[in-house]
Structure formats: C-alpha cells, structure tokens
Amino acid sequence: MFLAHAHARLAAALDGLDAVLGPLGRMFADAGFELALVGGSVRDALLGRDMPDLDFTTDARPDDILRLVSGWADTHWDIGKEFGTIGMIKRGYQIEITTYRAEAYDEASRKPVVAFGTELDEDLVRRDFTIGAMAVRLPARVFVDPFGGLTDLEAGLIRTPGKAESSFSDDPLRMMRAARFVSQLGFALDDSVRTAMTDMAARIEIISAERVRDEFVKLMCGKAPRAGIEALVDTGIADHVLPEVAGLRLEKDEHHRHKDVYEHSLTVLDQAVELEAEYATAVADADIPEAQKVAVPDFVVRFAALMHDVGKPATRRFEDNGAVTFYHHDVVGSKLTAKRMRALRFDKDTIKKVARLVELHLRFYGYGDAGWTDSAVRRYVTDAGDLIVRLHILTRSDVTTRNKRKANRLARNYADLERRIAELAEKEALESIRPDLDGSQIMEILGITPGPAVGRAYRFLLDHRMEHGPVDEETATRILLDWWNENGSVSGTVDPD
C-alpha cells in the first residue's frame, strides 16, 4: 500500500512541476545530454513533502549547463562551478544542476576532491543514503532506484548505497546527516550505518565547524530532535561535536542519590518541543513585540532545553548528609554553552540568547514559597527581555518529576506567575522598563556633568521603578533629590551646591 501511494504522490508532484521539468528535460535531451531529478527532491516527492528546492544531475559539464540555462532561467549563478554545480531560479523554485560526480575527502583535508562521472548509477552509488539515491530521468519520467531506496523509505531505514565506511570516509559529514534524518524523518539507523558511525566518529573532526553547525541546526529543528541527539551520543559523535551533552551521562552512584541528568535533559527537550507549538499558537496574534514570539521549530528554545543542565557535571557535590548539590550550575552551564556555540561558529546573537536562557532557567524556583513582590516579577520580565516567552517554555519544560503533587504545584505556581506578568503588563510596559527620568534629565536636575554619578543616580531610579512602579516626573524629581541629598556626597560625588 505504501509503495502505491508513494508512486501516486511522486506522479502528482511531477505533474505539478511540469512547467519546469518539461522544458528543462527537453532542453537537455535536445542538446544530447541526460538529466534527472535526484536525491532529496525525489525522496520528498515520494513522501508527499513540499519541494521548494529542486536538485538535478546530468552528464553535461558545468560550462554546458551554463550555456543551456543562461537564456532559460530567471537568474543563475556559478558559485559551485568548481564542484560541478550551477544554481538558478525558475518560477520561484531554487534549482541546482550538478554534473555526475565522485566526491571524496583526503585523509587530512576538509575540502572535497571532485571527479566528474558519466553514468547516472555511478553518481547515485556515491550519494549519502539509499533514500537519497533515487532519481527520475527526464523528460520521460523514468523512476530509477538501483539500491532499494523506496524499500528503505517504506521501512523507515537509513542505509548507504555502498559500504557505510566508504561513504563516511568520502564525506564524514554524512554521519551528522544520518542523525539529522533520524530527527527529521523519524527513521532508524541501519546496523551497518550505526557501526560505521561508531567506529569512525573521530573522523567528524576534519569537517569544518560551520558545516557541522548547519547539520546540527537541522537536526535540532526536526520533528524528533531527541532521537537525533541520542544517535549522536550513542555512536560517540557527540564526544567530538557536543561533548557537554555526552558528559551529562553522570556515573550512577550506588545509592541513586541523583537522577540521570542526560535522560532528564532529553525529556526537557521533548517537552519543550510540545510547549513550543502551544506557545507559538497562543502568542501568534498577541500584542507583544515580534522578537518575543516563537516559531515552530524554534532552535533557540530547543537548544537551551538540551543544554540547560550542562553545568551540573562540573558543579556536582556530595554532601555529608547524603544530598547531591549542583550550586551555580546555571551560571557555569551558560558559560559552557556559549563556549561550545562559539566553537561551532554560531552568530553572536544566537549565542547570547541560548546562553541567557540557560543562565535564567532556575530563576523561577522558589516563587511559590517566597511570595514574589511586584518588584521581583518586574525583574523577572526585564531580565528575560525578549526571551520571556522562551523562558516560559523552558521553565515549564524543566519539570520532569514523577511526583504528581509536586508537578501540579509547580505548574500552578508558574501559571500564577504568568497571570501576574500579564496583569502588570496591562499597566506597565514591562518589556522596556526604564527609570522615570533619563540621563539628560538627571544631569539637569542635579546640575552635574556626565560621569559615574549619573550612572549611580540612574540605577537608583531604576531600582525605585522596579520596586514601586512608575511615578510622574514631579514625583521622580523629588525622589531623586531626596536620594541625592542623602547619598550624593557619600558616594564620592560633589553636592550640586
């Protein structure tokens, strides 16, 4: 039944693309060249997934491809010409046409060595996995599947066309890609693939950090990121690309005085994925800054969920009374997260967001017991800034206790905190709290020039705003002058007189 439906989906996709496939296929055939839709494009068509990008392969050389498409494509570029790839846009589709090729890595090189081929099957056997080694010859629309990719698609299996060791030696990034497909498609690794990934895990180190990062982001944004992370950890690849996560598998002590931090983190990730969708829907039309809204998938909140406890191994202490503590693991974890993201060449903004969430993930605990003032609620919101919705997701996701009474209590407490945030937000612009007087007003009122005294006055007014809420300018002026008369000279400033 799957096979019949898959072929029907493929036929429907090809029909829908005929305005592109038809002319392109005939153009290459008339010029004496072969052309085939290939790889992920065919796989996605068989699965009924969207196909915004179209990949083709041909026996034509790059210069021939350029000559043929230069008058047909809406626009084209030759950035990948060295590797046999010509890119273009046609009717809104991004298209890449690549010459049949063999691709391999020198043992000590990060750059692929490319040799052009002459046969479609020769090209397909060098592709990463069987589910990407299927093609449709054009313009006749002949389905080509020499390595059983459709069968593996039905079985949900990640398998290589040839020997897995040879495939991963050619391009070690394929090991990351295998884990990515586990996440994106919900497929399982073939035993031969898992064995090769385990044996060759260290080979991933020859791949540039940028390429590893890009595959990792795709993995984290898949429908089952937990499964992808487990594949990386179980095969040892995470030891090389994400050692902080692999290190969460703390040794179990014989008294079981602490929970498995690795399993807890994966559960938090699972729950974050679920809550991400709920919050994204809830805030989609809310009157909040766009920067606070979350998308589906949202890499920042997912990665923060995975990394939130990476500071625990370094901070674990066994107390005399048998307790296990992880003091300051939030701060340590934030630093470790930022360091790892820098190593993977993430941009500064993304690093800042993820690290900040890790740092803030414990801030809520104690809310129900301590009884937060409005000032504490304001600080919670202002410290989170545009990350407030993501912090809601992370904090709620961090509850994995099996004690239903405790879980329900934490859920009620956080719901109450969100209610109070909403109530205060109706009265005040919490996301952009500033003192009731700005720097220029402070200097004018106190008769001082720019310097440390202005900063101290500004911080005093900000603290007052947090504690008591907004006041009018006249009241703020009086409060500032009272503080200045009592504290100005003591703090090392000169009295305005």
Q: What is the 3-state secondary structure (H, E, C) of 321-381?
A: CCCEECCCHHHHHHHHHHHHHHHCCCCHHHHHHHHHHHHHCCCCCCHHHHCCCHHHHHHHH
Rounded to an integer, the average pLDDT of 1-15 is 93
Q: Is the pLDDT of residue 27 over 80?
A: yes
Which of these, 462, 466, 456, lies nearest to 486 by C-alpha position? 456
- Do residues 130 and 160 make contact, with C-beta atoms less than 8 angstroms apart? yes
C-alpha Rg value of the chain to the nearest Å: 29
Q: What pLDDT band is residue 497 in, cutting at 50, 70 and 90? A: very low
What is residue 184's predicted lDDT score, i.e. its pLDDT?
96
Residue 374 or residue 119, greater confidence: 119
Which residues, 6+ apart, have CB-to-CB distance to 175 below 8 Å? Answer: 168, 196, 197, 200, 201, 203, 204, 235, 237
pTM given for the model? 0.83
Q: How confident is the model at residue 313 (pLDDT cuts 50, 70, 90)?
A: very high
Residue with tokens 């060449």: 345
Q: Are 326 and 264 in contact (CB under 8 A)?
A: no
Q: Tokens 């895990």 sit at which residue? A: 201
Q: What pLDDT is recorded for position 12?
A: 96
What pLDDT, on the 0 to 100 scale, is given for residue 379?
85
**Cα of 191 vs its chain's centroid, Å:** 28
pLDDT in the model for residue 105: 54
3-state DSSP of 394-420: HHHHCCCCCCHHHHHHHHHHHHHHHHH
Alpha-carbon distance 476 to 471, whole Å?
Answer: 6
Task: Dig out the tokens for 317 from the structure.
Answer: 């202490």
Instruction: Tell me what percent of the residues of the chain surpass a pLDDT of 90.
Output: 66
Lowest mean pLDDT among 17-21, 59-63, 227-231, 366-370: 366-370
Q: Which residue has the higher pLDDT, 297 or 466?
A: 297
- Return the number of other C-beta atoms located less than 10 Å from residue 480's C-beta: 22
- pLDDT tens digit string along 387-405? 999 999 999 999 998 899 9
CATH architecture of 156-241: Orthogonal Bundle (1.10)
pLDDT confidence bin for 432, thresholds 50/70/90: low
Looking at residue 111, what is its pLDDT?
61
- Decide if pLDDT at 494 tops 50: no
What's the CATH architecture for 1-155? Answer: 2-Layer Sandwich (3.30)
What per-residue confidence (pLDDT) applies to 51? 87
**Per-residue pLDDT tens over the stretch 233-284:** 999 999 999 999 999 986 454 444 456 899 999 999 999 999 999 999 998 8
CA distances from 38 to 28, 54, 56, 101, 384 (A): 15, 8, 5, 13, 46
What's the pLDDT band for 294 if we cut at 50, 70, 90?
very high
User: Are the beta carbons of 178 and 193 closer than 8 angstroms?
Assistant: yes
Nearest to 219 by CA among 206, 229, 205: 229
How far is it, in rounded angstroms, from Cα 302 to Cα 292? 15
User: How deeply is 429 buried, as exposed, middle or buried, from its count of CB atoms within 10 A (0-12, 13-18, 19+)?
Assistant: exposed
Q: Reply yes or no: is the peptide bond before residue 496 cis, omega within 30 of 0.
A: no
CA distances, 1 to each of 8, 77, 150, 244 (Å): 11, 42, 13, 44
Extents of the domains making up the chain: 1-155, 156-241, 250-432, 439-487
Question: How does pLDDT run across 155-211, given as a tens digit for each residue?
Answer: 999 999 999 999 999 899 999 999 999 999 999 999 999 999 999 999 999 999 999
